[in-house]
Amino acid sequence: MNIMTNSAMSTVLSTNTTDRAAAYDDSARRIPAAGTQPAGPALRHVRLTVRDGTRYGVGSGAERAWLTTAAGCLLQPAVGDLVLASIEEGRGYILTVLERAKPDDAAEISLPGDLHLHLPAGHLEVTAAQGARLDAGPRLETRAAQWQGDFDGARLQCRALLLSGHALQAHWHSRTEACSGTWFVAAQRGETHLGSGLRRVAGHDEITAQSLRQLVERDWRLQAASADLQAQRRVALRSDSVQLG
């Protein structure tokens, strides 16, 4: 049996990825060594030396093998990592990553298909010292009996926002709202309580009501370039003193 030596393997690994993959294919077919019989999968600590698509090549002496990531190995391996592998006849599976070659690089946890995380008892807590980012693609949905958030600052930006519910309460020290388009409010009954208020309308302002009453405890003043008071039946002014002009 022709077994590739360590020096020859080093020469192969220095070539491009295609040549390295071909070399591993050729060597993997030569396992097990001459005079031995396969005795089932063997668990070994091996270091990944080459990658070809979704499979990884490993080599130790005269033995070469191609490994694929097992379904239960959530942490995705990378070339240079030390892994625990199950190997049989030149093929096998990466069961887990034991040591990362580049621990400062971002780790990747990957699963095919859907994922359902079920906690029948207890709660789930996620802690991220430097922040968290969630990309839910076309839709993000949450359900809870109660929802609470505590933020130093928050920003919500969306093209359209729909809020609905039985009751809404908001408490602010100061509040500013700016609307560049149309502002529409509809309610069966409305109340506004202010310590003091100021209202400025740059254009036309019109109030339509079935009945209107204004109660002023102290002063009431109306100032206009021209003022018209129209009534179909009666106009009444009641005061101890009435001054016109």
Q: Are strands 91-99 and 42-52 parallel, antiparallel or unpaired?
A: unpaired
Residue 111 has a pLDDT of 83
Which residue bears the tokens 């408490």?
A: 171
Please, are residues 68 and 39 in contact by the beta-carbon 8 Å criterion? no
Residue 3 has a pLDDT of 39
Round to the nearest angstrom and report the end-to-end CA distance of the chain. 123
DSSP label at residue 30: T
Token readout for 195 is 């310590």
**CA torsion 42→43→47→49, rounded to 10°?**
30
Instruction: Going residue by residue through the chain, which has 245 residues, state the pLDDT in tens, using 9 for 90 and above.
Output: 343 444 443 433 344 455 555 555 555 544 444 445 456 888 999 999 999 999 999 986 667 899 999 999 999 999 999 999 999 988 999 999 999 999 999 999 888 888 888 899 988 899 999 889 999 989 999 988 988 889 898 999 999 999 999 999 999 999 998 988 998 999 999 899 988 889 888 889 889 988 988 888 888 888 888 888 888 888 888 888 888 77
Residue-range domains of the chain with CATH: 6-99 (2.40.50.140)
Q: Are strands 55-60 and 63-69 parallel, antiparallel or unpaired?
A: antiparallel
- 99: alpha, beta or left? (left if phi > 0; alpha if psi -120 to 50): beta
Residue 14 has a pLDDT of 41
E-strand stretches of the chain:
42-52, 55-60, 63-69, 82-88, 91-99
Residue 22 has a pLDDT of 58
Closest CA to 80 of 53, 107, 50, 106: 50
Q: What letter represents residue 97's amino acid?
A: V
